[in-house]
């Protein structure tokens, strides 16, 4: 019997080591006991690549919101990822939670909204959205990453992705090597950024069908907000004006206008798609959808200052 117990213990050592390692690093604060790595560093690590960024943000934010719900909400995709909630608090005096997720589809945003209603009575919702995802072929939902982990916590120790996240957290904490967390497009040349822009535009618009279910999903949310006295507004963030050429080439100008008509019929909309001071200079953007970070605070001030620009 002792012989078998010994073998079991020896066989189990690697599993115990994995459990201990993930518990100590705790890349998503699921266990929330060990804090040897700061939240700031963990967020840098989950944003380290285009593969880890969508998954990591959904998991991090669903866990953080459940632990500390907030009544005021930002929901959207990567265009609003860097909206600074501390700056918004300074402008409004209220606490906001940024639920913007890179790669977030409309289905992802719908699920995040309804997820939030499970934990708080919402007061203000700013729904950042754009035409680039308003496409029936972009039919996926990233929230499954977060819900699967919340519903099956044991996967925190058994899923290779979380072990990988733990490894990179530990490596960055020990070495402070910025190459581990450097976002790839920040060092691209203008030519490389143009290639990235064309790739993303083509990927988004090469196939298009009107997303009736997305419109109905938005309608359901806006009606819920009206019934529950929740202030709801859409926000369209700026694009580079060069996008217009591609919309014309793909025959999607009318579809884009239909998108705007849809959302403006449902709720007040802050439409900043093309701003004179920002949209006409290519150097202000990474690709055609994402303005450089140094301009994001300006957008926040336009949206939440006392002199809000409404369209």
Confidence tier at 187 by pLDDT (50, 70, 90): confident
| Residue 13 pLDDT | 64
The secondary structure of 94-108 as a DSSP string is S-EEEEE-TT--HHH
Single pTM value for the model = 0.91
Q: Which residues contact 223 (CB under 8 A, 6 or more apart)?
A: none
Residue pair 243/278 in contact by the 8 Å Cβ criterion: no
Output the CA torsion sign for 19, 20, 22, 23: positive
- Which has the closest alpha carbon to 73: 110, 127, 144, 115? 127
| Residue 185 pLDDT | 85
* Statement: residue 5 has pLDDT above 70: no
- Condensed to tens digits (0 to 9), the pLDDT of residues 116-150 reads 999 999 999 999 999 999 999 999 999 999 999 98
* Statement: residue 311 has pLDDT above 70: no
As a whole number of angstroms, the distance between CA 107 and CA 99 comes to: 14
In order of start, what are the domains of the chain with their CATH numbers? 46-142+184-304 (3.40.50.1110)
| Residue 306 pLDDT | 54
Residues paired with 231 in a beta bridge: 124
* Statement: residue 6 has pLDDT above 80: no
Confidence tier at 309 by pLDDT (50, 70, 90): very low
| % of residues, the chain, pLDDT over 90 | 85
Confidence tier at 12 by pLDDT (50, 70, 90): low
Mean pLDDT across the chain, nearest whole number? 92
Highest-scoring range by mean pLDDT, 179-188, 214-223, 284-293 = 214-223
| Residue 211 pLDDT | 97
| Residue 121 pLDDT | 97
């Amino acid at each position: 019997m002792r012989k078998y117990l010994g073998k079991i213990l020896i066989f189990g050592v690697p599993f115990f080591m994995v459990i201990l390692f993930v518990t100590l690093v705790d890349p998503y604060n699921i266990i929330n006991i060990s804090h040897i790595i700061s939240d700031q560093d963990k967020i840098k690590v989950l944003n380290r690549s285009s593969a880890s960024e969508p998954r990591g943000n959904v998991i991090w934010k669903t866990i953080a919101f459940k632990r500390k719900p907030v009544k005021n909400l930002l929901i959207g995709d990567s265009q609003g990822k860097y909206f600074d909630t501390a700056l918004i608090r300074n402008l409004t005096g209220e606490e906001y939670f940024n639920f913007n997720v890179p790669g977030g589809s409309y289905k992802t945003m719908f699920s995040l909204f309804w997820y939030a209603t499970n934990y708080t009575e919402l007061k203000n919702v700013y729904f950042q959205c754009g035409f680039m995802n308003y496409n029936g072929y972009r039919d996926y939902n990233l929230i499954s990453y977060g819900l699967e982990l919340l519903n099956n916590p044991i996967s925190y120790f058994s899923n290779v992705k979380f072990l990988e996240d733990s490894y990179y957290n530990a490596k960055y904490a020990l070495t402070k090597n910025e190459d581990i967390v450097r976002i790839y497009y920040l060092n691209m040349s203008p030519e490389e950024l143009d290639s990235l822009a064309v790739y993303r535009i083509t990927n988004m618009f090469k196939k298009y069908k009107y997303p009736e279910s997305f419109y109905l999903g938005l309608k359901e949310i806006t009606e819920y907000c009206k019934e529950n006295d929740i202030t709801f507004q859409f926000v369209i963030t700026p694009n580079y004006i060069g996008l217009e050429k591609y919309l014309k080439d793909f025959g999607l100008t009318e579809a884009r206008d239909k998108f705007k008509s849809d959302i403006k019929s449902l709720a007040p909309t802050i439409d900043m798609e093309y701003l004179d001071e920002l949209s006409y200079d290519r150097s202000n953007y990474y690709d055609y959808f994402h303005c450089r970070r140094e301009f994001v605070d300006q957008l926040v001030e336009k949206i939440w200052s006392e002199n809000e620009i409404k369209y």
